[in-house]
Amino acid sequence: MSEAFYTIVMGLRGFIKEYFHSFWDYETPKVMVVKNRTLGVIYRAVQFLVITYFIWYVFISQKAYQETESRPDSSVYTRMKGTAVHGDDILDTVEYARPSEGGDVISTLLRREFTYDQRQGTCAEYFNVPNANCTTDSDCVEGEVDFEGHGRRTGRCIQYYNHTFKTCEIQSWCPIEEYAVVREPPLVEAINFTVFIRNSIHFPKFKVLRGNIKRADYRKTKRYLNKCHYHEDTEPYCPNFRLGYIANKARENFTELCRTGGVIGVFINWDCNLDLDPSHCKPTYSFRRLDLRKDEDNSGYYYRFAKYYNKNGVESRTLIKAYGIRLDIIVHGQAGKFSPIPTIISTVTALTSVGICSIICDWIMLTFIDKNEVYSDRKFDEVIKEPIEHIPTELSYISSFGSNHSDLSEGVPL
Amino acid sequence: MSEAFYTIVMGLRGFIKEYFHSFWDYETPKVMVVKNRTLGVIYRAVQFLVITYFIWYVFISQKAYQETESRPDSSVYTRMKGTAVHGDDILDTVEYARPSEGGDVISTLLRREFTYDQRQGTCAEYFNVPNANCTTDSDCVEGEVDFEGHGRRTGRCIQYYNHTFKTCEIQSWCPIEEYAVVREPPLVEAINFTVFIRNSIHFPKFKVLRGNIKRADYRKTKRYLNKCHYHEDTEPYCPNFRLGYIANKARENFTELCRTGGVIGVFINWDCNLDLDPSHCKPTYSFRRLDLRKDEDNSGYYYRFAKYYNKNGVESRTLIKAYGIRLDIIVHGQAGKFSPIPTIISTVTALTSVGICSIICDWIMLTFIDKNEVYSDRKFDEVIKEPIEHIPTELSYISSFGSNHSDLSEGVPL
Amino acid sequence: MSEAFYTIVMGLRGFIKEYFHSFWDYETPKVMVVKNRTLGVIYRAVQFLVITYFIWYVFISQKAYQETESRPDSSVYTRMKGTAVHGDDILDTVEYARPSEGGDVISTLLRREFTYDQRQGTCAEYFNVPNANCTTDSDCVEGEVDFEGHGRRTGRCIQYYNHTFKTCEIQSWCPIEEYAVVREPPLVEAINFTVFIRNSIHFPKFKVLRGNIKRADYRKTKRYLNKCHYHEDTEPYCPNFRLGYIANKARENFTELCRTGGVIGVFINWDCNLDLDPSHCKPTYSFRRLDLRKDEDNSGYYYRFAKYYNKNGVESRTLIKAYGIRLDIIVHGQAGKFSPIPTIISTVTALTSVGICSIICDWIMLTFIDKNEVYSDRKFDEVIKEPIEHIPTELSYISSFGSNHSDLSEGVPL
């Protein structure tokens, strides 16, 4: 125990002493230079590939020398514009855009289904609800609330409105939507509605603030920004987007959208290389439908709301099932700027990767080229387990000449 | 100055000349092979540990060979379903779900506190407001607006409604909520309400689009999606979530929630390994209460809104303080796919880490095993500061045989 | 072909045999120790710089030993408080805060422009709309809907309200806003409104849950949380923010904001070092205006909504253009905790970077210090392309003594 401890302490002491003694020495690995053209060509070719890969792909294409920041702070303000005439009904932005506050989700009505003059009372349940069909009162359980139904059953079996068959009576908002619904034709003029989108982003790490409305545009008359319509090629800086343009770019049929409604994503993408001037940092827009639409039952977008009023002292409502387009403004951003840390990490990785070339070339050299073991003799200096200790001085002198092959060391005549 | 400059130029010239001359040479480090079983075993053991660590933890567990993308684009559409009977009052989705547009935040009423028939006028301030209690008009400062109060003081001291004490009169919506409030019992039937959640995500980098409603389900009848209720084990692909199930999974008491309201997060987690088929990329759901609830005063969820109407030509309102559950649908996602860059970086790091073994083993070798300095003699070829310059040819010839020990070099008889 | 194949197989066989034979050998690079003080000092200085850089910048400042998680789950609940008296009009939170549900975006009215008593009908178009001015009916195309106008033209040219000039008649909500608008003075008392912000965050990876309201505060009376106003220095844990304080911190003039409206970001920043106790993880708040405001036409924040009512059996509305402050509560978060993987990767990178020192020092050594090529002779062991094969034993014996210079090897007399 104390023996081992002593050895460790001595080892450490020796190590520390040695360390301080040789602190100012410079150590550099010994290198064997192989003057073999084949090997040199292979070595340089592999090196060239690795370096090219790093310079082209990692540094130029992936910009690995940049510190990046993604998902900037984003603020979106939206406002719908346009007027539609629907029979004698005029719809302006207050009527069709919801919610009115103008955040990053805005929807516009395209088609409405009205159920007028509903009030709380009793009426016949919809015939398609399970167990709603009845012939006598005993078919209807009083107080039962069916999950798919519209209200609580009163226990009576009554005529289904002006039809001949009967369904259970329920306590509900009457008449029920399925019976009394009035479908309006779609608001096809909505194809010309525009949505004004103002987006400003901020990269907190780089302290860069950008907006999607160009400064230069500000100096133009207010009329320009009111009149222009965004177009990828001709008007890339106009912040007014026609619904028809959006639907088209999202590869959707506007007439079909009017029928089922839909959710469309407006993607604003900021890809900023801040090594250039921030003014080069401009948004690109893309549009994609977000609700899956393989089956019509489950895609589409609609919601219900009601307008309440007092009719002869009774609270009444007009129930509106509204199909529409919901625009989700989704902002993506990424900024990159030169920074020493990723540069150093990438460079070190690159340099280290060059070391892989040596592994490959060593293997080739030792296996295919080195037939007479000349290279391996020189590269590998084998030291046997039990070093020859008590050699006469001259021999020791000779043997300590860096002989590289154990056979040789072993072959020294004692 | 010009001397130094000349030296540098010569140095560079020599360097470049040398460089081109030896461009096709292959350089490989010289290696000492130590045939010592103890050291070999230690070396291989350390190497094994490092390699195992990298293969198991970094590559298999952390999937370091994959390029990842997190936070996909997400679109959420929600719709509440269910009917509740509240006395003679029927509440359907239009009444209890807000906002109606169906975004990623949806709330349902669970309990309402009504203040009926408020209109603008003057009435007594709530007695708990600081300095509201008074005995004479001089206690009330005209025009003062207390931050915790309900309006502007008129300067008069009046009877507190039908009580015997007096408070300052204020100009406000009268009567005040604290006095006139009517509390409704909670809507316990809401435990059976369901919320339909449609979520589609998109990983832009990998161009993968997924939805939480399975294609196969689409082919089933519409009725299935209307009827089913999500259950982790039995119905994992049904997008209808019972409020009772959500509260239960969030470990909340529904009755308690009805009393105080609360914000519950519905977490949809997409963890996608895109090296497999995208169809393996399925969401998992989890539920957690988001408002801290140690103190009842500050947790919970309620909001106030009003219904306006015209009563005898005067604008009146019914103020409603609504306690409810707000569901925040929060979508997480992460996708990984094999990519050469992270693979190379991880591999290079792994290979480099193996180099650490050498540092450890060198220290062991030189400190504990190398008692006779045989190894260090061979490993280190010390070169003294002032090299012997004018040696006769033969001696020079001999001394240049790579002798590895400075003692030796110094021992050459001049 | 078979020759080449045989060679490869033999090569592989030899390689594998060799590999297993020497599996337990320990290989360590041979190193040349240069006892040159200048070089040693340069070497240590470069090493010191690299190590200092890694320890200070990478490990201490950038905390590269930590696993990080950013963008935590966040839940925000907001509630406006305060009462304003506007002439004889009392505005409480129900009137001025929208939407009422209290999510992460909340707006308050500051100034309203009313257009009273609009109803669907026909009236004169606004004179500033293109082509709206007319002298005879023939100037107005029936059925035309101008994008900047308010409705569909009837084809008649009528007097512009009580003015002397004429414009085209349109079917619209009449009278038009531009003619009938009534501007209200701004709600300057709103400077004292407060917004209560409750934010709770969750780092899923680290399973840490934090809220912006301190536990200790919970134990204080309810009154404290109702009364206090946030102040960076004196009340950093109070969750009530005065609008005036917010505007001030965002360096905005409140009076100016009342005029144009604006979007202000309330940034809640969580920077958590989870190696310390989670209770050290506290939010900091900052405030910044989010809408660009170089040009008044395009910055600012307003929205329109309407109050509908029934007047003598005709659906009428009061159109309100509301200027206000929209607060976007934006939560940032980042948490770091010690983890072995980033530590190992950073350490390995650091150690590898130290290797760069050798490259620099080698270049210095070989170019400037090594005048007599003593160092390069020792460092580089050149092996010529065609190794001397059939040398008599003694000479072979001698030549295999690691001679370091090709000139020398070539100089061996055959």
- The residue-averaged pLDDT of A378-390 equals 59
- Angle, helix C37-53 to helix C340-364, in steps of 10 degrees: 150
Q: Which residue of C has its CA nearest to B99?
A: C101
A234 class by beta-carbon count within 10 Å (0-12 exposed, 13-18 middle, 19+ buried):
exposed
The HSE-up count of residue B19 (CA atoms within 13 Å, CB side) is 9
pLDDT at residue number B2: 66
- Report the 10 Å Cβ neighbour count for A79: 20
Preceding omega of C175 cis (within 30 degrees of 0): yes
Report how far apart the first and last C-alpha atoms of chain B are (Å, whole number).
Answer: 37
pLDDT at residue number B387: 44
- The residue-averaged pLDDT of A237-244 equals 90
Inter-chain residue contact C356 with A348, CB threshold 8 Å: yes
Q: Which of the other chains make 3 or more beta carbon contacts under 8 angstroms with chain B?
A: A, C
Q: Choose the closest CB to B400 out of C88, C101, C403.
A: C403
Distances in Å between the alpha carbon of A65 and those of A176, A261, B205, C54, C63?
A: 65, 46, 21, 17, 20
Q: Choose the closest CB to C173 out of A22, A92, A227.
A: A92
Domains and CATH numbers, chain C: 26-63+341-404 (1.10.287.940), 73-117+182-338 (2.60.490.10), 126-175 (no CATH)
Is residue B321 a known part of a binding site? yes
Q: Which residues contact C252 (CB under 8 A, 6 or more apart)?
A: C262, C264, C289
pLDDT at residue number A215: 61
Q: Which segments of A341-383 are extended strands (E)? A: 380-383
- Report the 10 Å Cβ neighbour count for A231: 12
A271-285, B326-340, C3-17, range with the lowest pLDDT: C3-17
- Residues in chain C where the model's pLDDT stays below 70: 1-4, 11, 14-15, 18-22, 215-223, 293-298, 356, 370-373, 384-414
Indicate if the pLDDT at residue B293 is higher than 70. Answer: no
Closest to B143 (Cα-Cα) out of B123, B170, B173:
B170
Maximum Cα–Cα distance across chain B: 127
Backbone angles phi, psi at B302, to 5 degrees: -150, 160
Tens of pLDDT, residue by residue over A7-63, are 677 667 766 776 666 677 787 778 888 777 888 888 888 888 888 888 888 788 888
Q: Which segments of C125-242 are extended strands (E)? A: 152-159, 166-174, 182-183, 194-203, 208-211, 240-242
What span, in angstroms and rounded, lies between the C-alpha atoms of A103 and A327? Answer: 10
What span, in angstroms and rounded, lies between the C-alpha atoms of C373 and B73? Answer: 64
Instruction: Decide if B177 contacts B115 (C-beta within 8 A).
Output: yes
- C216: closest CA of chain A, how far (Å): 32
Tokens matching residue B169 = 């009169």
- Angle, helix B340-364 to helix A340-364, in steps of 10 degrees: 70
Q: Which residues of B140-167 are buried (b: 16+ CB within 10 A; e: fewer)?
A: beeeebbbbbbbbbbebbbebeeeeebb
What span, in angstroms and rounded, lies between the C-alpha atoms of A285 and A332? Answer: 10
A216 class by beta-carbon count within 10 Å (0-12 exposed, 13-18 middle, 19+ buried):
exposed
Q: Which residue of A has its CA nearest to B344?
A: A353
Beta strand pairing call for A31-34 and C380-383: parallel
Q: State the ipTM, two decimals.
A: 0.77
Q: Which residue of B has its CA nearest to A147?
A: B82
> A90 contacts in C (CB within 8 Å)?
120, 151-152, 171-173
Instruction: Decide if B27 contacts A375 (C-beta within 8 A).
Output: no
Backbone angles phi, psi at C214, to 5 degrees: -70, 145
Q: Choose the closest CB to B218 out of A145, A298, A301.
A: A298
Beta strand pairing call for C314-338 and C262-273: parallel
Percent of chain B at pLDDT exceeding 70 = 84
Indicate if the pLDDT at residue B406 is higher than 50. Answer: no
Cβ–Cβ pairs < 8 A, chains A and C? 205
- B330: closest CA of chain A, how far (Å): 15
Instruction: Decide if C230 contacts C238 (C-beta within 8 A).
Output: yes
Asked if A374 reaches chain C (Cβ–Cβ under 8 Å), the answer is: yes
pLDDT at residue number B396: 36
DSSP string for C10-52: HHHHHHHHHHHHTTT-EEEE-EEEE--HHHHHHHHHHHHHHHH
Inter-chain residue contact C303 with A83, CB threshold 8 Å: no
What span, in angstroms and rounded, lies between the C-alpha atoms of C56 and C61? Answer: 6
Backbone angles phi, psi at B5, to 5 degrees: -60, -45
Q: Which residues of B70-92 are buried (b: 16+ CB within 10 A; e: fewer)?
A: ebbbbbbbbbbbbbbbbeeebbb
- The residue-averaged pLDDT of A249-263 equals 90
Indicate if the pLDDT at residue A315 is higher than 60. Answer: yes
Instruction: Decide if A217 contacts C309 (C-beta within 8 A).
Output: no
Name the DSSP letter for residue C54: I
Indicate if the pLDDT at residue B389 is higher than 50. Answer: no
Tens of pLDDT, residue by residue over B269-284, are 999 999 988 888 889 9
Indicate if the pLDDT at residue A168 is higher than 80. Answer: yes
* Element at A411 (helix H, strand E): helix A406-411
Indicate if the pLDDT at residue B211 is higher than 90. Answer: no
Residue B412: pLDDT band with limits 50, 70, 90: very low
B70-79, B358-367, B385-394, range with the lowest pLDDT: B385-394
- Alpha-carbon Rg for chain B, nearest whole angstrom, is 41
Inter-chain residue contact B83 with A120, CB threshold 8 Å: no
